[in-house]
Structure 1
């Protein structure tokens, strides 16, 4: 046996000869034998070594065997050590009882029988060794339990931390998770899922009956169909759905799920994640809207340029080019100012500075400007820019800017509900009122009076032109009677198609161009009207054979007017800078022309609409009908 595996046996006797005899008897059991010649020496050995069995003589000087046993049993560490008394005298029954009370486990009389002593000692040695082994196993088991407990605690801590991170990630990503046990018919939603669908996580119990009202009806059938068609080969699917919150709010979501199947291939469980993509959807729609708006503005700009090219007049080619380039440059400068503010408006002072820059605004210059900083809306900024350009062009050709001594003073002020801009010339050639208005004057009159409900006043003072522009802060209803509107917006009839056409267009140049084109086709033109309310007033009590309508009138859709005209049987033609997809579905069957509109594109569509009206009227021409009405 290895020395490390041997146990200690303490032999206590005051006679050396007996100790030698005990040692000789017990040598065969191959354990460590420790000898002590007194009780005190025995206590010292106990303190130094772990003892399995003690053989102690009953009769010893100083401390006899009973006293030593009593002292050993009083110490907690030695309470369970096996003590065998050896006695050379005959002990009575009371002595045996006393010995057992002191903690003895057995008695051996002298003379000692070696086999009996070895057998008894060996029994207690084996018992001690097994007890030690059990203690070692118990300590090892406790250590393993402790380690396993620590591992479980660490694992639980990691799991809780992972769940916390997952919850934070789901919340940050506006996601929710769910699990649906189809066998047990049990569904579990986490807080994120409840938050997406707008329900209380503490009280909401997810089930087929409670979840179905929270999903848009058009999406529910598709989701159920995806579940039904899932298989082990296609156990994962993803779909978009609309969550309908109890408040009625709709949230766009993406649901991703994976299925678990039983041994027969039947779907048994679904686990998934729902992501709220409402913000992304709104951003996509906003981007689409911006793209459409860019297209709209670009087409409108091209249409305005097209109108400038078609409507500009000059005696020479060089004069024509200069006129067209100047007007386009004025629009481009205004566009640049509006782009800087993302089309929120343009500062009037900057606008004046840009338009009059060629004449060196500043100290000692021929043009001076005076007025507070004021931001004009986009549509009014373009009108003012064109008006300033036309005034400057006229002054450079015939007025104060055509000579070295001339001066121009531009001022603006705000009054109740309107902006007043005053253009005043001095020091130039003598001024005479023109016999007829030029193209620039027509643009100013049409844009200010019809498009924004303002006014323009020309004072042809001999000392210099004074022009006053009055622009309302908000679009006001034009207080003209139906008769006035009819009289002011009718163009004399020319031979040709002979139809009565309503024209609605808020961009003055486009309105003038389309009015000329329709007139050249041989039609009456009522308009152009610049707002839905104005056109509604003009349409009351009048009969039109067709209507040409700009879809967007300064941010207001023409749909109410189109609905009223369609109800009365008037064919309508839409003109727009937007794509066809942007048109209200109610009017998707109407003809749609993209800006810029040419006569070649407008005439066949308009002719078909007028013929459609003539057919419904039983062959009576619009001219005959109008003449009959006049009579």
Structure 2
């Protein structure tokens, strides 16, 4: 007798991919239903019984996550198997989100035909068996009223088994167990052995052996559960850790329910164990990320506050331009660091970003190796370079077409030395007072990074040397003709 075909819904906004899925799955002999959008898929679901939904995560208007959430809200589709297909790198957080929305599996692109067919076949068979079981249950319920209590108990066990199966589909990594309270016998399914990292071939399930696999700090949870059932509690749930034989620690949540006899005495305890390690790790990463974002936001706000508070100008427009320029420099380096996941930034990239607003042609020459800067060093140097470029563009070599600027840098024993040499610009005089640019440059280079900022006020153009340790150690600069007593009085510092 031919088995009844089931309907498999394929959802993707790209016809070529839908055609590819049809070709891959046609050998299964099932009914393939096509939907080119999330809304079309919802219309199909309301009219047709669907066994498995294969849905693309990235779709316009209504993506896979949103579609899954809408499907799960309908009572008819709370147990429908959904498999996500993603052509992008899926993070742990994305996977957790998918599972929370009801996905039972992920299939990456490019799709391996044999793997996709195997996954679809499993859930199609599961759907078929479920429907057969539901029909048998209906027939059995028509007769159960006339049967004995023993037959009623068998029916209850069958329903419990179905509930455990449904929970396993929804929750993912899960195991179930039964404990005969009278005889002390245990029954574990395959998932339970897998979670605890043991094999049914060489592991005997006893209270003592189970306790040995619990984290020492969580052993009391087992004792407490036994005591609660002895007091009459019928259900118990708790989180606990297990220590696998290979030393790996896993987080689990356990739920147990007691079965009693006519006198109310506990005769059996059944339960499920769900491995929530990935969720716990995701929560830890999320908390760490939140703290890191908070820390960086506070640092950025502190820098912005210093810029606003210390900037001086004779006119409002000049003040606004100075503040905006410094904050934009801070924003640019934050963008560079974000693109590297805050691992660091290339010095040449920082210089290029500061050069971008100017059309200087061949007025500037750059020379130096690739240097990777720590995030804190990159932020500080970005602001220092901004001050140098701004002042040079206003008053120095970059304020005239005849002016020239040479920037070169080198690294020797974790000490970065950057030289800034201007020529061909207006006549230079030694400054008499310090503006914000000077003060911020000194404070950032010398105080924050443990380096030195030294200036030579030559008539033909400013010569500046910045010495910055690439580690947190304080740099020791060699003596020279640079003015360290006046320590960087930028003659042309903006207000």
TM bracket, shorter-chain basis? 0.5 to 0.7
Question: 1:404, CA displacement in angstroms?
Answer: 3.0
**Counterparts of 1:288 and 1:449 in 2: how far apart (Å)?**
34
Is the contact between residue 456 and residue 470 of structure 1 (CA under 8 Å) also seen in structure 2? yes
Tell me how far apart the structure 2 counterparts of residues 367 and 244 of structure 1 sit (CA, whole Å).
63
Match runs of 1:295-334 below 5 Å:
295-334=294-333
1:220 deviation in Å?
Answer: 4.1
Give the C-alpha shift of residue 319 in structure 1: 2.9
d(CA) in 2 for partners of 1:321, 1:479:
37
Deviation at 1:271?
2.1
1:6-155 alignment, distance < 5 Å:
none
8 A contact 2:181–2:266 mirrored in 1: yes
Question: Cα distance 1:357–1:368, how it changes in 2: closer, same or farther (>3 A)?
Answer: farther
Match of 2:378 in 1: 381
Aligned residues: 315
SS in 2 for 1:319: helix
Contact 1:231 1:265 in 2 (8 A): no
Residue in 2 aligned with 1:342?
A: 341
Aligned mates of 2:364, 2:192 — CA distance in 1: 67
Q: Which runs of 5+ in 2 are unaligned?
A: 1-160, 478-484, 486-495
Partners of 1:313 and 1:434 lie apart in 2 by 16
* 1:427 counterpart residue number: 424
1:264 is matched with: 263
Between Structure 1 and Structure 2, whose CA radius of gyration is higher?
1
* 1:231 Cα deviation from its structure 2 partner: 9.9
Q: Does 1:370 align with 2:367?
A: yes
Matches of 1:205 and 1:426, distance apart in 2:
84
Indicate the SS of the match to 2:357. Answer: helix
Listed one character per residue, the Cα deviations across residues 435-483 of structure 1 (whole Å, up to 9, x for unaligned) are 3433222222222222222222212222111112222222225789xxx
Unmatched tracts of structure 1, length 5 or more: 1-161, 481-487, 489-631
Partners of 1:344 and 1:276 lie apart in 2 by 32
Structure 1 counterpart SS, 2:343: coil
Which position in structure 1 is the counterpart of 2:469? Answer: 472
SS in 2 for 1:325: helix
Whole-angstrom CA distance in 2 between matches of 1:189 and 1:460: 82
1:193-236 CA-to-partner distances (Å, cap 9, x unmatched) read: 34433455433333223323433455444454445545999744
Distance 1:479 1:336 in 2: 32
Structure 1 pair 194/298, CA: closer, same or farther in 2 (3 Å)?
A: same
Q: Is the 8 A contact 1:348 1:374 kept in 2?
A: yes
Task: Give the alignment of 1:544-623 within 5 angstroms.
Answer: none
Give the 3 Å change call, closer, same or farther, for CA 478–459 of structure 1 in structure 2. closer
d(CA) in 2 for partners of 1:478, 1:369: 24
Q: Distance in 2 between matches of 1:365 and 1:477?
A: 36
Q: 1:478, 1:178 → 2: CA distance?
A: 64
User: What pairs with 1:435-584 in structure 2 (closer than 5 Å)?
Assistant: 435-476=432-473
Cα distance in 2 for residues equivalent to 1:274 and 1:214: 14
Q: What is residue 408 of structure 1 aligned with on the other side?
A: 405
What is the alpha-carbon distance in structure 2 between the residues aligned to residue 181 and residue 453 of structure 1?
70
Distance, in Å, in 1 between the alignment partners of 2:182 and 2:245 is 28
Aligned to 2:207: 208
Q: How does the TM-score come out when normalised to structure 1?
A: 0.45
Structure ranking higher on relative contact order (CA contacts 8 Å, 6+ apart): 2
CA displacement at 1:330 relative to structure 2? 0.7
Q: In the TM superposition, what whole-angstrom CA distance separates every residue of 1:576-595 from its partner, at most 9, and x where no partner exists?
A: xxxxxxxxxxxxxxxxxxxx
Question: Quick one: distance in 2 between partners of 1:213 and 1:242?
Answer: 12
Corresponding residue number in structure 2 for 1:175: 174
For residues 308 and 383 of structure 2, the distance between their equivalents in structure 1, rounded to whole angstroms, comes to: 14
Cα drift, residue 372 of structure 1: 3.9
* SS at structure 2 position matched to 1:359: coil
TM-score for the superposition, normalised by structure 2:
0.57
In 2: Cα distance, 1:311 partner to 1:179 partner: 71
Q: Distance in 2 between matches of 1:241 and 1:262?
A: 29
Contact 1:352-1:369 within 8 A present in 2 as well: no
Q: Is the 8 A contact 1:330 1:355 kept in 2?
A: yes
CA RMSD of aligned residues (A): 3.3
CA distance in 1, matches of 2:375, 2:281: 25
1:395 aligns with 2:386: no
1:246 Cα shift? 5.2
Deviations 1:46-86 (A, max 9, x none): xxxxxxxxxxxxxxxxxxxxxxxxxxxxxxxxxxxxxxxxx
For 2:476 and 2:427, locate their aligned partners in 1 and report how far apart those are by CA, in whole Å. Answer: 37
